[in-house]
Amino acid sequence: MRTRPFGPLDRSLPVIGLGTWQLERDDRAAAIAAIHRGVELGMTHVDTAEMYGSGHVEELLGEALAGRRDQVFLASKVLPEHGSRAGVIAACEASLRRLRTDHLDLYLLHWRGEHPLADTVAGFEALVAAGKIAAWGVSNFAADDLDELRAVADAGRITCNQVLYHLGERTIEHAVIPWCERHGVAVVAYSPLGAGDFPSPRSAGGRALAEVAAAYGATAYQVALAFLVRTPAVFAIPKAARRAHVEDDAGAGELELSAADVARLDAAFPRGRWRGLPTL
């Protein structure tokens, strides 16, 4: 598994991590076994949120990570309605209880809400000072939101922006990735496999993917992930509740596409025009 520095952190993370949205709907024992396999394969960036299964996914992770907490970089997210200074602190403490841990490695604002960003940042910084989180970031922020955030955060404090990014949805390439590159902020690609809407092998894009994959002895899913993490600032967190899927996704962390193959996929899955930041 390739690793690289994660935004301003003095720490490298795997290019491919583990997402957990809707994991409460899967077979629990199989999902826990899949997480264990992913961690074993180096997918140690584990992403969750208080929202997922209304806390049930954090509880499932608490069970899955018992005895393994030190092996992972654990990220969770606070809902925007909990974005006041006191709300962020209370929500984090509830997440910590469900996750059966005393600290998060990363805590994100899930999306922008009504609370002033300065209040949310004050909550994050109080949690850092108390040792309850090591770092904080945001999710679903467009470049102008990031500008506003930067005005209320000290330099080097914004760790990442987690945003929608897959072959069929490349809007963040216009402004969000360049902003993050300029400011040393990591980009975390969510729904990197299209959240269940993966290109059909019968489509033109699907055929291009299959041909590139065949040249590397890889799968189309691995090529799709490798395309996203071709950019050094970008990390991906596919969700997989099955061992075979986790193993396949981990393999993408070893795959580096040639410039010619990147150009081929770029043509098959055009970036399109800027139409505002998409969310799921």
Per CB under 6 A, residues contacting ligand NAP are 19-21, 47, 110, 139-140, 162, 190-196, 221, 237-242, 245, 248-249, 280
In terms of CB distance, is 64 or 154 closer to ligand NAP? 64
Is the distance from CB of 116 to CB of 144 less than 8 angstroms?
A: no
In terms of CB distance, is 9 or 18 closer to ligand NAP? 18
Give me the half-sphere count of Cα atoms (radius 13 Å) on the Cβ side of residue 109: 32
- State how far the alpha carbon of 167 is from the alpha carbons of 22, 54, 135, 152, in Å: 22, 29, 29, 33
Q: Is the dihedral of CA 140, 37, 91, 93 positive or negative?
A: negative
Catalytic residue (one of 52, 107, 165, 190): 52
In the complex, minimum distance from the CB of residue 161 to ligand NAP, in angstroms, rounded to a whole number: 10
In the complex, minimum distance from the CB of residue 108 to ligand NAP, in angstroms, rounded to a whole number: 7
**CB contact burial 187-219 (16+ within 10 A = b; e otherwise):** bbbbbbbebeebbeeeeebbebbeebbeebebb
In the complex, minimum distance from the CB of residue 209 to ligand NAP, in angstroms, rounded to a whole number: 12
What is the spatial distance between Cα 136 and Cα 154, in angstroms, rounded to a whole number? 12
Residue facing ligand NAP at closest CB distance: 19
Give me the half-sphere count of Cα atoms (radius 13 Å) on the Cβ side of residue 183: 24
In terms of CB distance, is 130 or 280 closer to ligand NAP? 280
What is the torsion angle, in degrees rounded to the nearest 10, for the CA atoms of residue 14, residue 16, residue 19 and residue 23? -110
Identity of the residue numbered 128: V
In terms of CB distance, is 25 or 130 closer to ligand NAP? 25
Q: What are phi and psi of 116, to 5 degrees?
A: -60, 140
Whether residue 52 lies in the annotated active site? yes
In terms of CB distance, is 120 or 162 closer to ligand NAP? 162
What are the tokens at 210? 């299959």
Residues with catalytic roles = 52
